[in-house]
Amino acid sequence: MKRVALVTGSSRGIGRGIALQLAQDGWAVAINYLQQKEKAEALVEQLRSEGCEAIAVQADVSNRQAVRKMVATVEAELGPVELLVNNAGVAGQGLFQDETDEQWDHYMGVNLGGARNTIQAVLPHMLHEKRGCILNISSMWGLRGASCEVTYSCTKAALIALTRSLALELAPSHIRVNCIAPGVIHTDMVRGLGEETLTGLVEQTPLGRLGTPEDIAHAAAFLASEKASFITGQVLSVDGGFIV
């Protein structure tokens, strides 16, 4: 039986790594993107060349109607979503006193509202079938405060609360909800911090290196598998020991 996964924000970075791993594990994967159409389609082409089933679907996850349309497209082309990975997100640094209403609403709308929109869109089928898996990608900064990233940290902490609460609500329907809290992962977003900052972050990480998208992908693949069938409501830190 075909297993269908939807990974939001998966044209690059952590999301791309997760989509690749899931496809290699036999999932039919929907690659969601906002603006990076070429990268999303290139990933789909790569996966298909490897014998995997994949499609690219555009949607702003903060837009409820766009998300519903995206899920309908996935269901029509691949089938009902059995695994949802909420990875799409925005990040940035700045003083909290300078935070504007627009910035606050944007972070909340994408990082937290996006997860709500996608979950609500895929839940009807999961509830009907009494099975399914939801993975929320939070951050170690959702477990520990981050100076100059207050709003981002708020959204990631909220995702953890969403995970734990929803896991309890959906457990009677045998739908598992878990969360991954990545540490500093070597992606385009993190490279923008500059070499000096990255060197300092490596020094602060007990395992002595930055994480890779593959590190997060392996954790996601495990939590999505039957090997994790008795795990729900958990937050798995994949951060090299940064916040032990």
Active site residues: 152
Please state, in angstroms and as integers, the Cα–Cα distance from residue 42 to each residue in 29, 48, 81, 99, following that order.
14, 10, 22, 36
Rounded CA gap, 146 and 109, in Å?
20
Give the E-state strand segments of 82-192 in sequence order.
83-86, 132-137, 175-182
Counting runs of H as helices and runs of E as strands, what totals does the chain give? Answer: 9, 7
| Contacts for 32 with CB less than 8 Å, ≥ 6 apart | 6, 7, 8, 9, 10, 11, 15, 40, 56, 57, 58, 59, 61, 70, 88
Angle, CA of 70, 2 and 50, to the nearest 5°: 85
User: Is 107:90 a contact under the CB 8 Å cutoff?
Assistant: yes
| Contacts for 161 with CB less than 8 Å, ≥ 6 apart | none
Tokens of 24: 């290699």
Give the E-state strand segments of the chain in sequence order.
4-7, 28-33, 54-58, 83-86, 132-137, 175-182, 235-238
